[in-house]
Amino acid sequence: MRTRPERLQKGDQVGIVAPASPPNKARLEKSIKFLESLGLECVIGESVTAKNYYLAGTDSIRLHDVHQMIQNPEIKAIICSSGGYGSARIADKIDYILLEENPKIFWGFSDITFLHTAMGQLSNIVTFHGPTLSALGREDVHERSLLMFEQLFSPAEIVYDEKISPLTTISGGQVRGMIVGGNLTLICQSLGTKFELDVANKVLLIEDVGQEPAHIDAMLNQLRMARKLEQCAGVVIGSFTGTEPVEYKNSPTVEAVFESYFKDFNKPVVSGFKFGHEDLNVGIPLGVDVILNADDKYLAFLPGVE
């Protein structure tokens, strides 16, 4: 059982950091206004305005920001302004004992997956897979993406069923277990490191963007050979967008790739969840117990905060 951070209260300070690439400035400003409308006070880290090629400042700046927000008792949540690339560059330098001693809400997705995995396994805390501020500030952001921040203020169970989006059962069954994972590319990048995702008896969440079917096939095969598919208790397939074949024109559909791996899986596998790179990106806790029911097509989460 991972430690659930304390819920937010109106008037709380939240730290905004950029552990990977620089945020989109206009979208960031829009998202900050949204957080302020929730009654939160935003404390902007140095990394948010820093730039070092494709990174939001140097590794030391981004690392310092994360540590500052963790150890500041006034900061009740850390929200990532952007994904992109770079989180893994600082993962081995983060003080995970410091975070374990000062558990607080940590929110982001995409490249932030590497930090979700590291913080979950080394700090034993629940973190939140949800839109970064750059993603939240898009013109076409879905209202439900905004509403999911309410779970940070009040412990609530989340039930995702076909009232939210159409779901497809690839392999039937029902299982209860801890949900882990996130971006498929980043999960694969963790393999062979001390941050390798532990999926034993857990429900694995995967999503990605800009990967054609052959590349998704290759990453699923890597997970298969690393015995991650064998070890997990079930699979939740989130959004896979921008998957048009480019290099390999004669490709199966992404759905066919998933079927080839999971149709005879003998564990529950459901696709169609809006977790990931889409207008609707449903924020959820990672590291809590869920019930994945592939027969009735729903996914139920325990609360992510105390």
The pLDDT value recorded for residue 287 is 98
Return the closest-CA partner of residue 34 out of 122, 114, 147. 147
The pLDDT value recorded for residue 126 is 98
Place of tokens 């430690």: 3
The pLDDT value recorded for residue 203 is 99
User: Catalytic pick from 110, 145, 171, 271?
Assistant: 110
How do 298-301 and 289-293 pair as beta strands? Answer: antiparallel
Q: What is the mean pLDDT of residues 286-305?
A: 98
Q: What is the mean pLDDT of residues 20-38?
A: 98
Q: Is residue 19 scored above 90 in pLDDT?
A: yes
Q: What is the pLDDT of residues 49-77, one digit of tens each?
A: 999 999 999 999 999 999 999 999 999 99
207 is catalytic: yes
pLDDT band at 178 (very low <50, low <70, confident <90, very high): very high
Whole-angstrom distance, CA of residue 100 vs CA of residue 166: 38
Q: Please give the distance of CA 5 from its chain centroid, rounded to a whole number.
A: 16
Q: Is residue 91 scored above 90 in pLDDT?
A: yes
The pLDDT value recorded for residue 3 is 98
pTM of the shown model: 0.98
Return the closest-CA partner of residue 110 out of 208, 188, 226, 179. 208
110 is catalytic: yes
Q: What is the pLDDT of residues 261-271, one digit of tens each?
A: 999 999 999 99
User: Catalytic pick from 171, 190, 207, 239?
Assistant: 207
Quote the tokens at residue 19: 């552990």
The pLDDT value recorded for residue 202 is 98
- CB contact burial 137-173 (16+ within 10 A = b; e otherwise): bbeebbeebbebbebbbeeeebebeeebeebebbbbb
157 is catalytic: no
Q: What is the pLDDT of residues 211-225, one digit of tens each?
A: 999 999 999 999 999
The pLDDT value recorded for residue 10 is 98
Q: Is residue 188 scored above 90 in pLDDT?
A: yes
In the chain, the domains with their CATH numbers are 13-152 (3.40.50.10740), 158-301 (3.50.30.60)
Amino acid at 231: Q
The pLDDT value recorded for residue 140 is 87
Q: Is residue 248 scored above 90 in pLDDT?
A: yes
Q: What is the pLDDT of residues 137-161, one digit of tens each?
A: 999 899 999 999 999 999 999 999 9
